[in-house]
Amino acid sequence: MSGLELFAAALGVIAVWLTVKQNPWCWPIGLVMVLLYSWIFFEVKLYSDMLLQVIYAALQLYGWWQWTRAGETQRGRPVSQLGTQPMLLGLAVGAVVSLLLGAAMAHWTDAAQPWLDAALTGFSLVAQWWMAHKRVQCWPLWIALDVIFVGLFVYKGLYLTAALYGLFTLLAVQGWREWRVDPALRT
């Protein structure tokens, strides 16, 4: 565990907690966290995760814009649910990205876990996109991914990051509970 990992983990807890509370400050705090984690994952040869963090940086900016663009008159984008077809399409996109990235990482890099890392990356992108659009389905997907991330990070000796993702799992459960009772979903 490094000081950098500790700082990034602390920012991660704050960012996810703010996300659960639908506070748009989750996005700039998350931006700093993902930039730090891109370096951490590079150092341990989790290249798909490193790439994921770089993409997350762009998605952090996009999410911040999505959540705040409604201005003073509204509370930003309301929480909503995906229909079955868009949800299945998102999951299919995640699977295709996972396979393509896994093949690239296995063939062209010395990635530590090319296929698992790529699958987590592909589906994390879907979960992050859904989160930026305040789709309640982001939370059960995050729960599943975070549980698997915990195992990967324990395997790589990133124990603090594994604990962080364990906490992310609990926060995702809380987010799922809170977003499902959001008044916007009752209409």
Distance between CA atoms of residues 118 and 15, nearest Å: 23
Query: How is the chain split into domains, by residue range?
Result: 3-186
User: Is the pTM value of this prediction over 0.85?
Assistant: no
Average pLDDT for 61-82? 76
Using DSSP, state whether 181 is helix, strand or coil.
coil
Q: Could you report the per-residue pLDDT of 111-128, keeping only the tens digit for each?
A: 888 999 999 999 999 999
Q: Could you report the per-residue pLDDT of 80-116, keeping only the tens digit for each?
A: 999 999 999 999 999 999 999 999 989 998 888 899 9
Nearest CA-CA partner of 126 in 55, 72, 50: 55
Q: Which two tokens stand for residue 164?
A: 């962080």
Q: Are 56 and 34 in contact (CB under 8 A)?
A: yes
